[in-house]
Amino acid sequence: MAKVITEEQVDAALSRVEALDENQEQAEFEAFVARQPHVAGLVAAIADEIGEDAELLAMWLLFRIDAMFTEAQGGPLPTVPVDAVKEGYERTIAAIEAELGMPEADLMRRIVQPVVMQYVIETLSDPPAGEDEDSLSLTDEDIAELVMAFRTATELFHGQLAA
């Protein structure tokens, strides 16, 4: 069974990413996208339907999620194959449909990486200000779409963690 990422690992990963200068962050982001092109493509495609600012936020957030898993793994995760991404997204949609109306406590037990998903939900609910200092405003529907994408990414990355 793959391990669950702790708050300490999330904090360590975020601190490491935030300490990077702009050039280092760009280089690491490009390396991440090269390692995980299919997961990045899924999240970018879903976010792009919302808008360019949403796509920028989504990729910024996905890079940080990858850093959390890298921290937990002690190194980069193996590439998630394209077929696994498609199957994972379909599983996420089916799971969410089955979970409609479930009590929150039951829902939280079904989340494989609750600390990571809590960070995702908090970030999407109150996005950081962009370069123009305006915060992106997402509708509940936008947030739901992005949560599906990030739940898929998180479950796929979770499956790549060494036991």
**How does pLDDT run across 111-154, given as a tens digit for each residue?**
899 999 999 999 998 887 665 546 678 899 999 999 999 999 99
Instruction: Please give the model's pTM, rounded to 2 decimal places.
Output: 0.91
User: Angle 45-114-163 (CA atoms, 0-180°, nearest 5)?
Assistant: 95
Q: Region of 75 please: left (phi>0), alpha (psi -120 to 50) or beta.
A: left
Residue-wise pLDDT tens digits, 65-117:
999 999 999 999 999 999 999 999 999 999 988 888 888 778 778 889 999 99
End-to-end Cα distance, the chain: 5
